[in-house]
Amino acid sequence: MAQTRNCINKKKFIKYLKSLGIDVHSNTKARGHHGFCTGRRIDVAKNLDNAAAGSVLLHEFAHYIHFKLEPSLFRSGGSLNVLFKTEDTEKIENELFKLSLKVFDSRLLNKIEEMKKSVNEKIKEQKNIIKKSYPDFKISEKFREFNRYIKHSEAKYLLKYDRVLFKKHWFSKKKLICVDSLDKDFPDMPEAFSAYIVLKSLERKRNRLNSRIYKIKKYLRKPTELFARFVQSYYLNYQETQAIAPCSTAYFEDLKSQNYYNYLNDREFISLLDDCEPISL
């Protein structure tokens, strides 16, 4: 039977953090994912309930512990070698990344990846429309027939932008053309060529989604983030943490027993956990 802990008491945790000399703010919007730590200051978003605030404070406290071991972490992102005192960092990183995806609220990441999947399907649809008229069409090669046609059309601007506002002459009215209104703006354009412009727009959208996915995963893979989410999960859901990250847990517990991590063996910190006894799920 799986077990997790009840929430850590927000007020008691803040009191404890302040006793360590940390400047704690709980009445701000807080940057980052509901909270942030600068080493000597911790912020937690004011609109969080007690359970969520306790979890965020635990996460930021882990950053503080890391800061004590590696003061340069906010510039460098930290090092797993320092955090776990081993060269076996590849295995630890893989374990902690899997765990991080569990602990991290991945709804946004999942949503973006679903959007990317949808965009890929739409790209295939446009490609099939083009191939009906041009069977030899390949996305990776020049579309010569289209290139000859588009030279004399205002639609050429839509190969780079989804919406373009322009005017031909100084005294002429401004004109707006959009990828979404191709059929209306260019009613005489062949279907295959319209599909190609839409395809290029979808590729731009996919590139933006790929960039967002990369940035999120890069953020999650920072050693300091991997460690903070590990500590967060270790104290709130030990069984799941041990199951997903057994190697990391073993290194962590060995170092913790040697008082390597400041304050994790502190009686006051342990008493905070005693107030949230494990409950069965």
pLDDT, tens digit (0-9, with 9 covering 90-100), for 162-218: 998 877 666 667 888 899 999 999 999 999 999 999 999 999 999 999 999 999 888
Distance between CA atoms of 220 and 223, rounded to whole angstroms? 8
In contact, 279 and 3? CB cutoff 8 Å: yes
Q: Are 43 and 36 in contact (CB under 8 A)?
A: yes
Is the Cβ–Cβ distance between 237 and 5 less than 8 Å?
yes
Q: What's the pLDDT tens digit per position in 19-48?
A: 999 999 888 775 556 888 888 899 988 888
Residue 166, classed as helix, strand or coil, is strand
- pLDDT above 70 covers what percent of the chain? 90
User: How many Å apart are CA 97 and CA 105, to the nearest integer?
Assistant: 13
How confident is the model over 235-249, as pLDDT tens digits?
Answer: 988 999 999 999 999
Phi, psi of 68 (to 5 degrees): -65, -30
What distance lies between CA 230 and its chain's CA centroid? 16
Phi and psi (nearest 5°) for 85? 50, 50
